[in-house]
Chain A
Amino acid sequence: MRRRRWPLLTLLAFGYAFLYVPILLLIIYSFNESRLVTVWTGFSTKWYGELLRNRQLLDAAWLSVRIAAVNATLAVVLGTLAANALVRHRNFRGRTGFELLLTAPLVMPDVIIGLSLLLLFVAMQQTIGWPGGRGFTTITIAHVTFSMAYVAVVVRARLSQMDRSLEEAAMDLGARPLRVYLTITLPLIAPALFSGWLLAFTLSLDDLVIASFVAGPGSTTLPMVIYSSVRMGVSPQINALATIIVAVVTLAVVIAGILMRRGREVR
C-alpha cells in the first residue's frame, strides 16, 4: 500500500502545523520589544525581566506549583490503588460503579466538578466545620479528584501489560505479597507512575475553572492570574510565561519519553 500516500501526508503536515503554529507564534512574539504583540519592532527579553518582577504572578505560580506537587503525589497513590483494584480484583461487587466513578472525571465538564465541589465544601463547613477556609486544601482535594482518574488510566495500562508470572515467581521464591509488590511490581510500573505524576502535575497547574470555584479570596493560582490578565487583552508577559512553560514541559516530556523507552526495553 505504498502508493498515493501524499494526500494523507499533506493532511498530517497540516495537522501538525495547526497544532504548533500558534505555540511558535507565542514564543516568537515573547521576544518582541513592542507592547503590541502583533507588531514586530525588535528583539528584546525585557518581558522576561518584567515577568520576574511581577510579584502577584510569581506568588500565584508558587502556590500553583505547590498545589500541583501535592496533588500529583496524592493522585499517584490513589490512582495506583484504583488501578490495582481494576487489574487485580477482576470481579468485585460494585466494580461497574467503581469504573464509572473513575471514568467520569475524565470527561466531566470542569464547571460541574467545580460547582459541585464548592457546594460540598460549603455544606461540610456548615455541618462539621471543616474545611475552615477555602484555598490550598480545597483546591488540592478538587484536583486530586479528577487527576487520580488520569493516573489510574496510565497505571492500569502498564499493570495489565505486566507478566503476572514475575510476581508469582517472587512469591514462589519466598517473598510475601507486600514485599512482592514493593520489590517487583512497583519498580516495573515505575515509568507509568512517573508519567502519571507528571500528567497530574500539569493537569493541576493548568486548571482554571475548578480552582476558580473552590478557591477562597486569598488564594489565587497561576491560571487565575493569567485569565484575568488575558481578559484585559493580549499581554507580552503572558507570551514570555508561555515560552517558559513550553520549554519546561518539552524538556520534561522528552526526559519522560526517554525513560519510558528505556523502561520498555528493560521489560
Chain B
Amino acid sequence: MATLAERRSLEPWQDPKAVPYLRIDRVTKKFGDVYAVDDVSLEIFQGEFFSLLGSSGCGKSTLLRMLAGLEYPSAGRIYIDGVDVTDVPAYSRPVNMMFQSYALFPHMSVEQNVEFGLKQDRMPRRERGERVGEMLDLLKITELRKRRPDQLSGGQRQRVALARSLAKHPKLLLLDEPLGALDKRLRENTQFELVNLQERLGITFVTVTHDQEEAMTMSTRIAVMDAGQIMQVDTPTAIYEFPTCRLVAEFIGSINLFEGKVVATEGNQVLVETRVGRPMRMRAFHPMVLGTPVTVAVRPEKMRLCADFRDDGVNQLKGRVEDIAYLGDVSIYRIRVGDGALVEMTLTNVQPRTEQALTWEQEVAIEWSPTSGVVLTE
C-alpha cells in the first residue's frame, strides 16, 4: 500500500500554506429553535477522503445537505474552490451526492439514471453515450444497463448510484451513509473498493457515517460530531490513540477512564491521583497546572498482565476477574479493582482458550505504560 503511505505523508492539513478545496466557515443551521448544526468550521483539502462521524441526530447529515445545496445555512458561509457557494442552489453547484437510499429514479433504466445529470448539462448525445459507457465500465455494471432499479440487488443499486453521482465528473462527491444499506460482508469489500476508486479518480470525498469502523478504514481524516458541534478533527489514528475529550474517547472503541487530579509534573509527564488508589504517571501533550481535575484514559488492549506488582508502583492495579467475553481472536476481561470500579482489558488469545491462564474470580495484577494512554482535561 505505497499509495496509502504517500497520501498519508502528504497530509495537506499540516501545511499552513495549503489552500483548502472546501471551506466551511462558522456554519449554523436552525430548525425552529433547535440547532442542528452549531457554529461549525472545517477545511477539507483536494483529494481527501473526509468522514463526518457521529450518532444519529448529531447534525452530520444536515451539514452534508448544506454542502449539496439541499439545505441553506441559517448563518455562516460555504466556499468550494475559493468560490462562495452559500447561496447557490443545488442544481448549480459543482458537487454531486450519493444518497443514503440511493434515490435511483424508479421509472428510468440504469443507463437513463446515469445519463440524467449529463442531460441536464445539455451534453451532446454522442459524448453522453461515451461518458455513460465509461461510468458503467468503471463500476463494472455494463451488463445491467437496460435494467430498472427494482430489478437490481442492493449492491448493484449502490454501484448505479455511485456511477450516477460520478458521471458529471464532480470535483467533490458527497456520500450519505454510502454503505449503510449493505449487509456486513458486502460492506467490507465495498469499503476498499470505494477507497481505490477515490484514489484513482482523485476526487475529494466527504462522507457521513455513524459506523466508526467504516470511518476508520476509509478516511484520511475524521470529524467527530455531537449535538451539532465538531468535537475533534484528526486522522483515524489520532482520533483513536489521542482523543482530546471524553466524548470522542468513549464514542470510538472502548476505553477505561479514571478520574482524578494532577498532583505532580515531571518533564512531559504528569502524576495523577485517582479514586482507584494508586497514582498514575502519564505522558501529557501540554503543560498542566497542579490540582487540575483530569481523566486518565487507557484503552483495554493497552493493558497487560503485571509480573512484578509493587505496592508503590505506578500504573499498576490489582483486582479480581469478574467477567470474560470470549470473542475468538481476543478475550475481554472485566476486572473489579480496589475501589469497586471495573477495568476492561483485552488480551489476544495466543493459546487456545482451554489453556488460558486467566479464569473467573482469579486475582490479577495489571499495568500499562505512561505512553499508552492520554490525560483528558474535559
Contacts and interface: CB of A to CB of B under 8 A. Distances in A.
**Touch A–B, Cβ below 8 Å:** yes
A75 B116 CA distance: 31
Q: Which of A171, A173, A184 has the most CB of B within 10 A?
A: A173
B97 A169 contact: yes
Given A168-B90, A169-B97, A266-B150, A174 B107 contact: no
B91 interface: yes
A61 interface: no
A170 interface: yes
B103 A165 contact: yes
A172 B68 contact: yes
A175 interface: yes
B120 interface: yes
Interface in A231-261: none
Contact of B99 (A168, A174, A177): A168
Interface in A163-193: 163, 165-166, 168-177, 179, 184, 187-188
Nearest to A180: B91
Interface in B152-185: 164-165, 168
A172 B106 contact: no
A62 B97 CA distance: 53
Given A163-B101, A173-B96, A187-B107, A179 B120 contact: yes
Given A165-B103, A267-B106, A172 B90 contact: yes
Contact of B150 (A163, A165, A187, A265): A265
A239 to B, nearest CB: 43
B12 interface: no
Interface in B99-150: 99-101, 103, 105-107, 116-117, 120-121, 148, 150
Contacts, number: 66
User: Dominant SS at the A interface?
Assistant: helix
Contacts of B100: 165
A184 to B, nearest CB: 6
A177 B92 CA distance: 11
A88 to B, nearest CB: 14
A132 B257 CA distance: 87
A225 to B, nearest CB: 43
Given A188-B106, A188-B107, A266-B107, A173 B99 contact: no
A23 to B, nearest CB: 37
Interface in A106-133: none
A163 B103 contact: yes
Given A168-B70, A266-B107, A173 B101 contact: no
B99 A165 contact: yes
Given A166-B105, A179-B120, A266-B150, A171 B99 contact: no
Given A163-B101, A179-B120, A188-B106, A171 B91 contact: yes
Interface in B309-334: none
A42 B137 CA distance: 72
A266 B148 contact: yes
Residue among B89, B91, B168 with most chain A CB within 10 A: B91
Contacts of A168: 68, 70, 90, 99, 103
Given A166-B103, A166-B105, A184-B105, A173 B148 contact: no
Interface of A: 163, 165-166, 168-177, 179, 184, 187-188, 265-267
6 contacts: A168-B70, A168-B90, A169-B99, A170-B116, A171-B70, A171-B91
In the complex, the 9 A-B pairs of residues with the closest C-beta atoms, listed nearest first: A173-B117, A174-B120, A169-B103, A165-B103, A171-B90, A165-B99, A187-B107, A172-B97, A266-B106
Interface of B: 68-70, 89-93, 95-97, 99-101, 103, 105-107, 116-117, 120-121, 148, 150, 164-165, 168
Given A165-B101, A173-B96, A174-B92, 12 more contacts: A163-B101, A169-B105, A170-B116, A171-B69, A172-B69, A172-B91, A172-B93, A173-B91, A174-B117, A175-B120, A184-B105, A266-B106
